[in-house]
Amino acid sequence: MRIVLAPLEGVMDHTVRELLTSLGGYDLCVTEFLRVSNHQLLPPRTFYQLAPELENNGFTPSGVPVRLQLLGSQPDTLAMNAQRAIELGSHGIDLNLGCPAKAVNKSKGGAVLLKEPQLISAAVNELRKAVPKDKTLSVKIRLGWDDPNCVHEIVDAIVQAGADELTIHARTKEDGYKAEAIKWHYIAKVKERLAVEGKSFSIIANGEIWDVEDAMACRKISNCDDIMIGRGALASPNLAAMVAGISEKMSWVEVVQMILDYRKVQVIGSKGHHYSSRVKQWLSQMRRSYPEANELFMAIKKIKDREDMITALANSIRK
């Protein structure tokens, strides 16, 4: 079973990918989306800004391959930018059909395309022509816009157009991120139907994987080939390594030290000035896995200055 790091927009930038993959367990990373539109071929610098790993043959410093994700609805534009990404070193191409953000959907990107299987088919077909057969073409979807039973028509469009694998976030767009709305069993239905039709197709399950038990339950219920971890990777930074059976859960002191070490990565990154915001973002998620996170979050929530944040974090583990 492969473990994939999810492309959480606004969160999983290259600095976070570097940090999390260094903890072990991940087999693949997918980038935040690169929006393409207006029949425009983006310049190489745009790809390098999103994925500096391209300058390292498409690998994170710890050797995990990175796949670039595209978002858009124009088949020709997706194809030409996919070709460029491959030429620059991306380990395959992923098409985003799952983003539920209103701003993205209004510009005809992400989950809104789930309403148009014919357009999905056209986009994947053009991408397949642009992406060499020895490079993976994957698609990330939700179960549908508001009806999970629509997933079968969506999957058919993707499979028949020539994609290699599919990530299914087991909720509809309308479900948002409601924990109680998770529907892993729909993935099992997709797998079963494809098997009956004699189609061998790799499916990655995504959604509500917060700990090792969730990962095992997801795989059992969904009958998936692989899993993708998103917010759970923020709540428990070495979750992938735990699922893979190569390490135990990090202690709280180790977690805080990791956040402190992260400043060394971020200071050379494009978002170095966001260090304090990122720390708060992480601690907010970590409250789910570490009781100490809530106390620390309350203590630092008003801090904005980077150096003040570093001091507060260091002091918290000296007690």
Annotate 226-263 with DSSP letters as a single string.
EEEESHHHHHSTTHHHHHTTS-PPPPHHHHHHHHHHHH
Active site residue ranges: 99
How many residues make up the chain in this entry? 319
Fold of 252-316: Bacteriocin As-48; Chain A (1.20.225)
In this prediction the pTM is: 0.95
Residue 272 has pLDDT above 90, yes or no: no
Q: How many CB atoms lie within 10 A of CB 45?
A: 8
- Is residue 116 helix, strand or coil? coil
Query: Is the distance from CB of 227 to CB of 3 less than 8 angstroms?
Result: yes
Q: How far is 40 from 46, CA to CA, in rounded Å? A: 12
Q: Which residues pair with 284 in a beta bridge?
A: none
Q: What is the model's pLDDT at position 117?
A: 96
Q: What is the mean pLDDT of residues 58-63?
A: 97
Residue 271 has pLDDT above 70, yes or no: no
Q: Which CATH superfamily is domain 3-243 in?
A: Aldolase class I (3.20.20.70)
Residue 10 has pLDDT above 90, yes or no: no
The enclosing H or E element of 214 equals helix 212-222
Phi, psi at 14, each rounded to 5°? -65, -30
pLDDT of 172-219, one tens digit each? 999 999 999 999 999 999 999 999 999 889 999 999 999 999 999 999
Domain ranges of the chain: 3-243, 252-316
Q: How confident is the model at residue 266 (pLDDT cuts 50, 70, 90)?
A: low
SS3 content of the chain, % helix, strand, coil (to 5): 50, 15, 35
pLDDT of 73-121, one tens digit each? 999 999 999 999 999 999 999 999 999 888 888 888 999 999 999 999 9
